[in-house]
Amino acid sequence: MLPRKASVEVIYDGSDITQAVSDSIMSFTYSDKASGEADDVQLVVHDREKKWHDEWYPKAQSIEAPVVGNSDYSEIAAALQRGTSAANLQRLIDESDLTPEQGRILQRVTPTSGWPQFVNWNPQYVGESGKLLLVEDIKAGHVTAYERVSRSERSTSTLETVDNAVAGTVLCIKLKVQNWNGLGENAELNCGAFEIDSCEFSGPPDQMTIKAVSTPVASSMRRQKKCRAWENTTLQKIAQDIAGNAKLRLVYDVRSSVGLDRVEQTKQSDMYFLMDLCATYGVSLKVTDNQLVLFEESVYEDLPVVDTFDKYDKNNRIIDYKFSQNTSDTVSKVELVYKDPKSGLVARGEFTPPNPPATGQKLVLNERPGDLRGDNFRNSTGGSSSGSSFNSFNNTASDFNSTRTDVIDNASRICRARCREKNKSEWTCVLKMFGNVKMGGGVNIDMKNWGIYSGKYMVDIATHKTGAGYETTVFAHKVLGY
């Protein structure tokens, strides 16, 4: 009978080095997170031949130096709107964080002679806010000097993949098993693409620990703090801009649109800014395999289970387990009430989960929901779904500069997101099992015959480790149903 076997396939800068390094791999660890954190891998190799700290030493991609310059393009947009010379525009470009090539594109598309035709092709760039959008789109790599297709003509869908990726990934890794749960039962887990961020050499005996993450190390996504703003935009558009800057593909799997009047990124890195924005609206985010993925966790919880674990199964694959219930921070209702001091508008939202926790705690939010600064209020055209109108007012630029949400729908969405955040950790489990390539962040499993702990769970983190055998550990929460 053929023995069961677990092995690691390693592609380094496009070359398959599996055969060369297989005898030196001491252990391999891969952690797949459903959202909020980058996936990571760790490879520990012995160095008896003294190659890893010399000719085989991994050459990590150099980290992008912080761009010196202002990332707030409002002054450029204002100058373009009122009219400016090429020399003055170049001065503003030089003071910004636009690259020389991006500056040349801006100079080519905005001269008086060519602008009417360009804006005819791209009407979204009309007005000062449109020119701000133009600069931001050039920065994100969405505009070239000869772009003729208007955004309204571009195809979009609920699940949209946009390719901004470039070659140069350091590590691509697959975990393979043979004869694992029976003769001839072979499977593999594609861990994805990673960039090396650290190497440690230790001993004796000599060994190298190579660590890599799914967030591009050679981009400013995690490190550089920026100040910029978006107006009359959507969550998808912001995510696309950030994905483009990091040269990632955007996978946008959010069913309902999230419209935003104005959003400001203030001294935050792109990664943490987008994570905070997504969390506000109950959208999950992860970076994996050269992709920036936005999705709704509640939708993924409705997907079928990938595996079932029965406590009384004779072939139970679980090595040890831990279940817990914690009601200390759970809530049975969330309400949002905010009265805008300028317009007098009272924004309300609420959410009550099905089968709420027995604690009966209610969470009351006093947060600006955001739909309080748009032209509908400035121009007295009404603003809420109930048809209410308000007197016009002035000086809104500094007063109404927060994330826009619909007065009812998105305010309630915020309440729902906060309710999930509070209640998600009520029922949890940690399972250590024989290696299982089906386990990954975001998949669902069914726990049978575990008493009150039985039910459907979603995996938050799956960690795979090989070395002296192959084991998988999962951290999961019971699905909420909303």
The structural domains of the chain, ordered by start, are: 5-60+173-203 (no CATH), 62-167+219-300 (3.55.50.10), 304-326+425-478 (2.40.30.150), 333-421 (no CATH)
pLDDT for 86: 81
Distance CA 174, CA 291 (A): 17
Rounded average pLDDT over 72-87: 85
Residues 374-391: pLDDT tens digits?
433 333 333 333 333 333
Q: How many other CB atoms sit within 10 Å of the CB of residue 400?
A: 22
Distance CA 396, CA 402 (A): 11
Helix (H, G, I), strand (E, B) or coil at 272: helix
Distance CA 64, CA 228 (A): 20
Quote the radius of gyration of the chain (alpha carbons, Å): 26
How would you label 134-159 residue by residue, b for 16+ Cβ within 10 Å and e otherwise? bbbbbbbebbeeebeeeeeeeeeeee
- Is-contact 360 395, C-beta < 8 A? no
Residue 170 pLDDT > 60 = yes
- How many alpha carbons lie under 13 Å from residue 117 in its C-beta half-sphere? 9
Rounded average pLDDT over 405-416: 74
Rounded average pLDDT over 120-128: 76
- On average, the pLDDT of the chain sits at 79
pLDDT for 437: 93
Rounded average pLDDT over 190-203: 86
pLDDT for 418: 92
Rounded average pLDDT over 3-13: 85
Rounded average pLDDT over 337-359: 82
Give, in degrees to the nearest 5, the angle at Cα 142 between 137 and 148: 105
Would you state the structure tokens that stand for residue 402, as one six-digit string?
């927060």
Strands 346-351 and 362-365: unpaired
Q: Which band of pLDDT confidence, cut at 50, 70 and 90, is reported for residue 226?
A: confident
- When mean pLDDT is compared across 12-21, 280-289, 386-395, 456-465, the lowest value belongs to 386-395
pLDDT for 374: 40
Residues 427-445: pLDDT tens digits?
999 999 999 999 999 999 9
pLDDT for 404: 42
Residue 464 pLDDT > 80 = yes
- When mean pLDDT is compared across 68-72, 224-228, 461-465, the lowest value belongs to 68-72
Distance CA 350, CA 417 (A): 11
φ, ψ at 212 (rounded to 5°)? -145, 155
Listed residue (319, 316, 298, 296) closest to 308, CA to CA: 316
Residue 222 pLDDT > 60 = yes
Among 209-213, 255-259, 386-390, top mean pLDDT goes to 209-213
Residue 195 pLDDT > 80 = yes
- Is-contact 75 92, C-beta < 8 A? yes
348's enclosing H/E stretch is strand 346-351
- Is-contact 367 336, C-beta < 8 A? yes
Distance CA 80, CA 128 (A): 8
Helix (H, G, I), strand (E, B) or coil at 341: coil
